Amino acid sequence: MIEVVPRSGPPEAMNCPAVICDACRRQVVGKGNIIWAIKVVRSDEETRQQSPVYAAHKGACDRGLEAWLKKQYGPGWITLWEEMGTYLRQLLHNAEHSFEEDAEGEYHRLVIKQPGNDPHIEIPDGSATH
């Protein structure tokens, strides 16, 4: 998850935006995966639903996170993945360009469905693997 990590020490205390692994709670540096779940829709009239977006190290962390997401959302939902670098580049682009600039695309209303449990309690521990 994108978080703001407090830092103390010289030259001054700071708040540092960072990607933190939702499986092992350590910083993701370089390669990582962004994972979320969506409800499969059968028609354009159906409201699209999505989980919050999570981040994980590649390997045991992302596999554990995906297994946890599947358990949280159940049948009718699928998980989607994106490389962290690709996701962050697209996020920065969309922070600087509005969807209205895209005359050909259609952007759908989205409902974020929170998981039933706190992920930091329920996700299997992948911290011993890296």
Binding site for Zn ion (CB under 5 A): 21, 23-24, 57, 61
Choose between 35 and 61: whose C-beta lies nearer to Zn ion.
Answer: 61
Nearer to Zn ion, 102 or 125 (CB): 125
To Zn ion, the closest distance from the beta carbon of 109 in angstroms equals 32
Nearer residue to Zn ion within complex by CB, 48 or 120: 120
What is the smallest separation between the CB atom of 32 and Zn ion, expressed in angstroms? 8
Cβ at position 81, least distance to Zn ion in Å? 15
The per-residue DSSP string of 85-123 comes to HHHHHHHHHHHHS-GGG-SS--PPPEEEPPPSS-HHHHS
Cβ atoms of residues 22 and 117 within 8 Å:
no
CB of 2 to Zn ion, least distance (A): 15
Cβ closest to Zn ion, residue 39 vs residue 63: 63
Residues ≥6 apart with Cβ < 8 Å to 57: 21, 23, 24, 26, 28, 31, 32, 33, 126, 130
Residue with tokens 């779940």: 37
